[in-house]
Chain A
Amino acid sequence: MKKPLILVISAALLIILFVVGNALYKHKQSEKLGFLAQDEAELFVRPHSAILGSDTAKVYLVEFMDPACETCAAFSPFVKKLMDANPGKIKLVLRYAPFHQGADYFVRILEAAKKQGKYWQTLTVMFQSQSYWASHHNPRPELIWHFLEGVGLDLEKIKQDMGDPAIARIIEQDLADAKRLNVTKTPGYFVNGKPLVTFGYRELQQLVEQELKVMYPG
């Protein structure tokens, strides 16, 4: 056999091996997470987790997010649209993975806002104003307060409640679960325990629709 041919064939074999290995691993991983979802459902939903949507919804969309993450902000309206398109069928569970430096500051504000019953409004304002306070080269977390004025929160109370050690424990728990579930980037999505393997709007929509079909046949 000609020598260049040996090289080309080996390279081709290696690439095929990689592609097959990649697919096999991802398949195995999503199977494993499926089992985790059956055996350890609490990994996905903790009692402290914020939940949006109907109680009777059968499709759990679990999102590991970071208030300072641009992609999380960009996905937020898309997820709302997905939920509106399937009323009563999807339940959004928010988990924290504050990987950005200083992001737990915003998680603490969110959790404090939850006590005043304004969790989702606060989150919306956070995402909408994110580009002002979360610039990568010049983060200015204090700017958030200006935007929060519009939500109708008791800001003094927020500042008091933010330091609650219970919130630190929530973040710790969520980060531990994120690690177990191999979430290394935000947003990390799971639909009824199945991970979003290839990231993208359309892929997320497909995964949700696939679960909707399983849970609501016909």
Chain B
Amino acid sequence: MSRSSTLTGADWNFLFICWLIAAISTMGSIFFSHTMQFPPCVLCWYQRIFLFPLVFVFATGLLCHDQAVVRYGLPLTWAGWLVALYHNLLYGGIIPESIQPCAQGVSCTENYIELFGFLSIPMLSLLSFTSILILLSILKRRFSR
């Protein structure tokens, strides 16, 4: 791959939307735990570990106009997306609860909120990771062209 080149025009806007999604998700997750006092379960923590740094990785990419940001952002996003997927399967009862890893502390299937009847917190996480993943993949294809 060539040395990282600069980020311009529409690409910058794409990345900006990624940053916005990551930043809003981060704030939302802190709002749930800090303000609404929902204790985050283990799986939520794993997703947060991959989500929080994205805000800074994307911001740095935006400030430095650096295309390489996609390379650093994608692994984090994939990892977060996989945990989110697993969490949703668990939450939806598709994976039986007996093999869930969080017997102690907060249950990962604890239902805190359901916005509009279907948007649970794990679902919100999966939506954010999926949309960031799609946007980053589009960016990656545009750069390789």
Q: Which of B24-51 contact A (CB under 8 A)?
A: 24, 27, 30-31, 34-39
Contact B27 A18 (CB under 8 A): yes
Q: Which residues of B contact A21 (CB under 8 A)?
A: 31, 35
**Given A14-B27, A17-B27, A7:B35 Cβ within 8 A:** no
Contact B16 A14 (CB under 8 A): no
Contact A184 B37 (CB under 8 A): yes
Q: Does B63 sit at the interface, judged by CB under 8 A?
A: yes
Contact A3 B35 (CB under 8 A): no
Q: Which residues of B contact A18 (CB under 8 A)?
A: 27, 30-31
* In the bound complex, CA of A7 to CA of B20 (Å): 9
User: When each residue 1-20 of chain A gets 1 if its CB lies under 8 Å from chain B and 0 otherwise, what string results?
Assistant: 00110110011001001100
Give how many A-B residue pairs fall within 8 Å (CB-CB).
37
A25 CB to closest chain B CB (Å) equals: 5
B16 CB to closest chain A CB (Å) equals: 7
Most chain A CB atoms below 10 A, which of B12, B19, B35: B35
* In the bound complex, CA of A103 to CA of B85 (Å): 35
Contact A3 B31 (CB under 8 A): no
Contact A6 B37 (CB under 8 A): no
Q: Does B108 sit at the interface, judged by CB under 8 A?
A: no
Contact B23 A22 (CB under 8 A): no
- The secondary-structure label for the interface of chain B is helix
* In the bound complex, CA of A25 to CA of B113 (Å): 15
Q: Which residues of A contact B24 (CB under 8 A)?
A: 14
Contact A25 B35 (CB under 8 A): yes
Q: Does B74 sit at the interface, judged by CB under 8 A?
A: no
User: When each residue 178-199 of chain A gets 1 if its CB lies under 8 Å from chain B and 0 otherwise, what string results?
Assistant: 0000101100000000000000
B52 CB to closest chain A CB (Å) equals: 14
Contact B62 A14 (CB under 8 A): no
Q: Which residues of B contact A10 (CB under 8 A)?
A: 16, 20, 23
* In the bound complex, CA of A178 to CA of B59 (Å): 41
Interface bin, chain B: 10 to 19
**Given A17-B27, A22-B31, A4:B63 Cβ within 8 A:** yes
| Minimal Cβ-Cβ distance residue in A for B27 | A18
| Minimal Cβ-Cβ distance residue in A for B30 | A18
Q: Does A157 sit at the interface, judged by CB under 8 A?
A: no
Q: Does A48 sit at the interface, judged by CB under 8 A?
A: no
Q: Does A80 sit at the interface, judged by CB under 8 A?
A: no
* In the bound complex, CA of A66 to CA of B58 (Å): 43
Contact A184 B31 (CB under 8 A): no
* In the bound complex, CA of A10 to CA of B36 (Å): 24
User: When each residue 135-161 of chain A gets 1 if its CB lies under 8 Å from chain B and 0 otherwise, what string results?
Assistant: 000000000000000000000000000
Q: Which residues of A contact B19 (CB under 8 A)?
A: 7
Known: A7-B62, A7-B63. 9 other contacts (CB 8 A): A3-B62, A7-B19, A7-B59, A22-B31, A22-B34, A25-B35, A184-B37, A184-B38, A184-B39
Tell me the B residues contacting A by CB distance below 8 Å. 12, 16, 19-20, 23-24, 27, 30-31, 34-39, 59, 62-63, 65
Closest 8 CB pairs of A and B: A22-B35, A18-B27, A25-B35, A184-B37, A7-B62, A14-B23, A4-B63, A184-B39
A-B contacts, 24 of them at CB < 8 A, read A3-B12, A3-B62, A4-B62, A4-B63, A7-B16, A7-B59, A7-B62, A7-B63, A10-B16, A10-B23, A11-B23, A14-B23, A14-B27, A17-B27, A18-B30, A18-B31, A21-B35, A22-B31, A22-B34, A22-B35, A25-B31, A25-B36, A182-B37, A185-B37
